[in-house]
Structure 1
């Protein structure tokens, strides 16, 4: 459970607050929408102090040269310098306006003494009182008796026993209140012995302050700061409360340090009732040649003796627990940069124990890498390395962690020559390291020559390439083996060559036509295109059973693989091919060029069997690939739909089916429905080569942001796995937004340790689950931050804003 009340602006700058409620609507189909800016459109219209003059200039720079115009019912002036004014007194000087029942004014010194219903207005704030004494030239004054004030830029307002205008931008109020709610309708407010405001720094300071909601005090501090605008300010961020089964109740109150315009920091002390005290933090920086972020969590001693998922998992009771992330980019010289990403955790159970949502607990690998990158007009290069840490508590490290690639270098070039032609090369040199596995280095060279002949309605793109791959295996390679799978059996072969190689040509021809015509659909005029395309690929077969599998896997077949020269990721396997892809696409474009409907259908025809496979997938002797069909439409700005379907003509099975529908509900509401099905071929278990299992996905997901009124909206997300027969994640909540406050109550139930795949191995336990409830309240104008609720909902609900 979390409760948030901000005493400083956020560590991340968000869209500027608006008084009229204007904001950018998140486009349909956007995966992650930006946060909604604060707006005060739900406040009382024209909610200013009653004497506000909207026609008075806002330009305060005119004060020094402007004349002062004074009017009243009666005037007495004994020496033409001091004026005694009574009855409807009004004095105007540039952006300053003073009204009172009676006033004394000195035209030489610009001193004034106003009494009875005194109203004062200038460019950034309003003040009313029974009595104000001041000087218009210095913008100083002292107000006493029934003091009321309002800040025109921030919607802030309040009352005080005494108010003092120190200069044009600074004010001080004694025994005062402050709120951004409607005047006279304070849902929440700060009550303080003293409140100072400074428009120069955009900061307010309250001393001896108590925060109240509906008149009930709930927080006291001897000193607090709050923002007067959207600029970053040092101070406390929203306190946060939550409960999870692995860590217990959690409380934290971050403090933000606005150190400089180009760097800042946040310290986040936390306390877990089951595990103890933790210190977290974040440092962000941006300099002319470098920028980055450093995040850390540190628990000196874990108090909890929990039940680990696997018997081999390390006991963490009494031990340090930590994680950190460092991301940095450094510009060395024009065209050269150094990129660094380091992710580490103290143990493989860390995210499982301290994660509080499905995304965190389902993360299985933490990547780390460092690369020196260079590029020019026709080339790019890099040198560095990659490594991963296993944070999946149910898998041993030697199984879950990929090979370390240290060092790794790449060089790519693409040089145009003549009119149509390019000469290029992709190359990689890398050394692989992994305990209890075959190790070695690999050099992969991929030179090519291609051409791009094209006209307004046609294109022909031939390409001739040659791939050469050589290995140098480390000592002891004979002790390891590779698996080769056939439709009837799996055979294990020992490596018998320390320096295996592979070389082969790769020839392709990509060609297509583009036709268009004018047509109409549902009474609307469109331009329709018809785009047939043929792609021929030839790669001779090479037996690659003697090559190790360092970083290569067979990729799931999808639409983009209709036009790719290899179905494997990495360089350890190169598919053989004598294939012809035929596909056709049609599009409907409106008068503005917006693609309102697109449909694609295609298939690969295999003239020779697909003999090259990875270790756990048998060769295929099919005559054709899956049929691929896609349809996407957005006929108007209210709804969009996309679907993809893959059908295998050899097995007569559907291998992939997806359907996504999004409907906009009002201004900020949305309804999503999606279905995903993936049926893969039979694989062989890496734990037992003779034991087969299937890896499949079938899920339904429905999510919505449903506006009940302009103040209330319901939030929901429901993901169900048909194969697991269980709910993967469910989120339900309600949000309220008023003039000066936002409230969110969200409950979520999620599976722990779930990766979206069901394993039907015998006695394979299903992942556990956890439930959490989150409560957040935001006081508008007191700082903005993306809390836990917003982060969760933006990730789970397509189009949430």
Structure 2
């Protein structure tokens, strides 16, 4: 019959684990004060623990429990099936024999000849194994003479570990630790192997050091047969809940690849966060030993295509209507003779007063900047800029109108060792801008489908007064990138050293098509500037004034051709000369998250020293099977008629492990070797084979992903501009 009894209750004040045990069974035989036997569908429940068995016996004198037959033991942390169980109900200790176990919420499971549960719910397993593979014949299996799993730290200690891959022993470690949760733990991460034409055979073995809850470090010995031992270290920290930073140190002593075997190094520091609700802080500093550091070495800080090291320190203060910031900045350009100016320091103050009255807004921007230079032959300056702005914005669903008036007042105090610039310069320039836009809609047919089409004409008038600026040095100013959206800017140059005069009208037109589900299927934007007067201000004296009657015609196009096909392009076309100024386009096919095929092309004439860029590329990521993926790209220079980059990678990912094999052949960016004798010749191309392997459940840097394969190499994957819903 079905029966239910209570075994004795114990003192809850002395041991919180001791709570009454509820027992159910088909049949019960008991002698009060001595023992109780249970048979048939026996279930013990104590707190969050549960035992099910065919039969069980509780000895009330020594508070022991024996259970056997279809035995299952469950707790918050794990589930175990075993042949038999011996336990002490007062101390919550248990021993299970011939046990199969699963960690709840994890893929980790295994077998143990003997499994002990301590009074702290820790596990001690003897002659055991485990894996994260779900099958009965796992791809990998870790065998051990003993495993201890700490339930509070959620880490496992392993003695006599032997790793088997496809039942072949490949690794032995007398002692190791593994995670059973996301908690961090010191230990070695998975090694990386590769071979390349410039570095030879490479092996990197990262070591992760969990110093404290708010501090950790990763130390990576990276051996290169052609160069030597490359040491990399990264230290990360948290300063309270709102500040964080890191320090990177990298060192390669006696680089055997270069003449005279120079030492090569990098140090990097970054910090950011919030001191209080009002105060913010930012710092970033990087330095390297030579121009080709990132080209030759696999740095954790920057890529080979980055040639500017921006060093900046900034502190800022924010209030609802105003903010203040103080900044210092230095830029190191690798491989270039030009040395940018240092900002030492720059003080900025911004104030905003919306709804000033009559629909007007008032904004005030000011900055005080000191420009210094490392070379004594360069001029230096202190610049004070004041920029009050009155604007009247008006916006409705059918359109918008903006009227804006600015006064640009700038003062320079300059020190020119060559005596070519004035010591003091004052510049006052008025600016007026009117920008209007209308939103029109209609229903239309397109390829036998109904669409809602918008027509959004936009007109801008811009007037900027002229003032001779030839006596002002160039400290932080350059030419801005030109595209359709740039037509409606009020500046031709970045920075403040040159403010181009303007008397011009910009005409733009955007049209969008929305389908029946209100999803944007296409967008076309075309615009051009009509110059009413010639602009007399150029960046430098050797550049001509702007005398054209109109700008290049700018276009921006995005089409959702089908549900999976996207076409995106941008074009700048000189209608007077009848030639393309700049163009780029991509055709994307992406039917699912892990399927991609992209064709792309870019063209820029006379980018530097009359060198044209005309490059075409193809990029793809595609599953070959459910587990095997391919990622590849190929870029070709149509002017030089040679490959710029080739990448091919295969990744196989099973449920419990992943492996990636890739090949990379690319054009190297070589600079002159500063601080070292020149290497002649430097390789024009570099090629290499790379191998990454991860066993899930044994720690490491996380599973391999397809997205990071798309971003390997010189050209990152650029996701097309998906149209708005």
State if a TM-score over 0.5 links the two structures: yes
Does the 8 A contact of 2:294 with 2:302 survive in 1? Answer: no
Task: State the Cα distance separating 1:89 from its structure 2 match.
Answer: 5.0
In the TM superposition, 1:75-154 aligns within 5 A as: 76-79=29-32, 82-85=35-38, 90-91=43-44, 96-100=49-53, 102-106=55-59, 111-116=64-69, 118-135=71-88, 138-144=91-97, 146-154=98-106
Task: State the Cα distance separating 1:117 from its structure 2 match.
Answer: 5.0
Partner of 2:595 in structure 1? 669
Task: State the Cα distance separating 1:678 from its structure 2 match.
Answer: 1.7
Task: State the Cα distance separating 1:127 from its structure 2 match.
Answer: 2.1
Does the 8 A contact of 1:358 with 1:750 survive in 2? Answer: no
Go from structure 1 to structure 2 and tell me whether the alpha carbon gap of 1:199 and 1:634 turns closer, same or farther (over 3 Å shift).
farther
Does the 8 A contact of 2:421 with 2:472 survive in 1? Answer: no
Is 1:433 the counterpart of 2:372? The answer is yes
Partner of 2:653 in structure 1? 737
TM-score, with length taken from structure 2: 0.87
From 621, 627, 636, the equivalent of 2:553 is 627
SS at match of 2:424: coil
Work out the CA distance in 2 between the residues paired with 1:785 and 1:350: 25
In the TM superposition, 1:704-719 aligns within 5 A as: 704-719=620-635
Partner of 1:446 in structure 2? 387
Work out the CA distance in 2 between the residues paired with 1:422 and 1:754: 51
Provide, for residues 124-149 of structure 1, a one-character-per-residue CA deviation record: whole Å limited to 9, x for no partner: 322233332114564421123x3322
Provide, for residues 300-333 of structure 1, a one-character-per-residue CA deviation record: whole Å limited to 9, x for no partner: 62241515xxxxxxx6x253x2212211125344
Task: State the Cα distance separating 1:519 from its structure 2 match.
Answer: 4.9
In the TM superposition, 1:616-695 aligns within 5 A as: 617-634=543-560, 638-680=564-606, 693-695=609-611
SS at match of 1:562: helix
Partner of 1:239 in structure 2? 191
Work out the CA distance in 2 between the residues paired with 1:563 and 1:576: 15
Go from structure 1 to structure 2 and tell me whether the alpha carbon gap of 1:500 and 1:607 turns closer, same or farther (over 3 Å shift).
same
Work out the CA distance in 1 between the residues paired with 2:209 and 2:258: 36
Does the 8 A contact of 1:518 with 1:528 survive in 2? Answer: yes
Go from structure 1 to structure 2 and tell me whether the alpha carbon gap of 1:277 and 1:767 turns closer, same or farther (over 3 Å shift).
closer
Does the 8 A contact of 1:672 with 1:798 survive in 2? Answer: no
Partner of 1:298 in structure 2? 250
Partner of 1:418 in structure 2? 357
SS at match of 1:552: coil
Work out the CA distance in 2 between the residues paired with 1:547 and 1:132: 88
Task: State the Cα distance separating 1:703 from its structure 2 match.
Answer: 1.3
Partner of 1:727 in structure 2? 643
Go from structure 1 to structure 2 and tell me whether the alpha carbon gap of 1:415 and 1:467 turns closer, same or farther (over 3 Å shift).
same
Task: State the Cα distance separating 1:172 from its structure 2 match.
Answer: 0.8
TM-score, with length taken from structure 1: 0.79
Work out the CA distance in 1 between the residues paired with 2:444 and 2:19: 66
Unaligned 5+ runs, structure 1: 1-61, 308-314, 479-494, 684-692, 756-764
Work out the CA distance in 1 between the residues paired with 2:633 and 2:60: 68
Q: CA RMSD in A?
A: 3.1
Work out the CA distance in 1 between the residues paired with 2:659 and 2:666: 23
Does the 8 A contact of 2:567 with 2:588 survive in 1? Answer: yes
Work out the CA distance in 2 between the residues paired with 1:269 and 1:93: 51
SS at match of 1:351: helix
Work out the CA distance in 2 between the residues paired with 1:354 and 1:767: 14
Task: State the Cα distance separating 1:295 from its structure 2 match.
Answer: 3.1
Is 1:215 the counterpart of 2:167? The answer is yes
Provide, for residues 379-419 of structure 1, a one-character-per-residue CA deviation record: whole Å limited to 9, x for no partner: 23222211122333xx33xx2x3111212222222322104
From 531, 552, 557, the equivalent of 1:606 is 531
Does the 8 A contact of 1:290 with 1:328 survive in 2? Answer: no
Task: State the Cα distance separating 1:753 from its structure 2 match.
Answer: 0.7
Q: Which moved more, 1:518-527 or 1:639-648?
A: 518-527
Work out the CA distance in 1 between the residues paired with 2:110 and 2:161: 14
Go from structure 1 to structure 2 and tell me whether the alpha carbon gap of 1:787 and 1:186 turns closer, same or farther (over 3 Å shift).
closer
Go from structure 1 to structure 2 and tell me whether the alpha carbon gap of 1:259 and 1:299 turns closer, same or farther (over 3 Å shift).
closer
Go from structure 1 to structure 2 and tell me whether the alpha carbon gap of 1:644 and 1:298 turns closer, same or farther (over 3 Å shift).
closer
Go from structure 1 to structure 2 and tell me whether the alpha carbon gap of 1:162 and 1:707 turns closer, same or farther (over 3 Å shift).
same
Work out the CA distance in 2 between the residues paired with 1:458 and 1:708: 50
Is 1:558 the counterpart of 2:483? The answer is yes
Work out the CA distance in 2 between the residues paired with 1:377 and 1:101: 71
In the TM superposition, 1:443-592 aligns within 5 A as: 443-478=384-419, 495-519=420-444, 526-589=451-514
Work out the CA distance in 1 between the residues paired with 2:244 and 2:30: 67
SS at match of 2:686: strand
Partner of 1:751 in structure 2? 667
Does the 8 A contact of 2:391 with 2:405 survive in 1? Answer: yes
Go from structure 1 to structure 2 and tell me whether the alpha carbon gap of 1:799 and 1:464 turns closer, same or farther (over 3 Å shift).
closer
Work out the CA distance in 1 between the residues paired with 2:300 and 2:548: 43
Q: Which moved more, 1:728-737 or 1:134-143?
A: 134-143
Work out the CA distance in 2 between the residues paired with 1:344 and 1:87: 74
Does the 8 A contact of 1:753 with 1:767 survive in 2? Answer: no
Work out the CA distance in 2 between the residues paired with 1:64 and 1:585: 74
SS at match of 2:367: strand
Q: Which moved more, 1:365-374 or 1:635-644?
A: 635-644
Work out the CA distance in 1 between the residues paired with 2:435 and 2:63: 83
SS at match of 2:371: strand
Ranked by relative contact order (alpha carbons within 8 Å, sequence separation 6 or more), the top structure is 1
Work out the CA distance in 2 between the residues paired with 1:636 and 1:169: 57
In the TM superposition, 1:747-786 aligns within 5 A as: 747-753=663-669, 768-783=684-699, 785=701
Partner of 1:288 in structure 2? 240
Work out the CA distance in 2 between the residues paired with 1:386 and 1:88: 75
More strand by share: 2
Task: State the Cα distance separating 1:118 from its structure 2 match.
Answer: 3.5
Partner of 1:382 in structure 2? 325
Does the 8 A contact of 1:658 with 1:675 survive in 2? Answer: yes
Does the 8 A contact of 2:378 with 2:416 survive in 1? Answer: no
Partner of 2:13 in structure 1? none
Does the 8 A contact of 1:154 with 1:781 survive in 2? Answer: no
Partner of 1:190 in structure 2? 142
SS at match of 1:477: coil
